[in-house]
């Protein structure tokens, strides 16, 4: 029987997707209650897009692991190896965070995030909602943080478990 560590190492992506579905279902009821009746369809549409965008990286990771290119989650802490699925995973994260940042900062998305409590789709089920300023700050910070994280992961030179 595999140990807990082995299960997490090999199926982290699946666990992340399960939590993504749970968070989406919970957020769906929260956003539907927060929106007025004529805004419910709009809230559900934004929430669905938000949840899909937040979970696409885990699908990419899952494809990499199921196909054998990245047998464990630990491969994703070694971008310096140039594994195509690790690079694709990082590219998807950069793309989704950049699109989110653009939408929040330049297309009025911050108000939608606040109005429909869209952050609950990624597990932020707080009673007190974020302010517009903090939504914009975190959106701007996202694409800037990824290169820093890649640098840190590459410089740690994490050994792969045997």
Summarised one tens digit per residue, pLDDT across range 54-81 is 999 999 999 999 999 999 999 999 999 9
Region 121-145: mean pLDDT is 83
Look up the pTM and report it. Answer: 0.87
Q: Which of 118, 113, 159, 154 is nearest to 136 (CA)?
A: 113
Distance CA 76, CA 90 (A): 9
Question: Is it the case that residue 140 has pLDDT exceeding 90?
Answer: yes
Provide the total of helices (H) and of strands (E) in the chain, helices listed first.
5, 0
């Amino acid at each position: 029987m595999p140990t807990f560590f082995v299960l997490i190492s090999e199926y982290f992506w699946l666990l992340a997707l399960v939590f993504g579905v749970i968070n989406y279902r919970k957020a769906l009821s929260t956003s539907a209650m927060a929106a007025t009746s004529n805004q419910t369809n709009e809230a559900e549409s934004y929430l669905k897009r938000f949840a899909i965008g937040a979970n696409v990286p885990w699908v990419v990771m899952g494809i990499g692991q199921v196909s054998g290119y990245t047998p464990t989650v630990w491969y994703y802490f070694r971008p310096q190896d140039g594994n195509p699925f690790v690079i694709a995973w990082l590219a998807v994260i950069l793309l989704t965070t950049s699109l989110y940042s653009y939408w929040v900062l330049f297309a009025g998305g911050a108000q939608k995030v606040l109005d429909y409590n869209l952050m609950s789709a990624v597990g932020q089920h707080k009673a007190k909602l974020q302010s517009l300023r903090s939504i914009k700050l975190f959106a701007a910070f996202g694409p800037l943080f990824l290169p820093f994280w890649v640098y840190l992961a590459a410089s740690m030179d994490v050994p792969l478990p045997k």
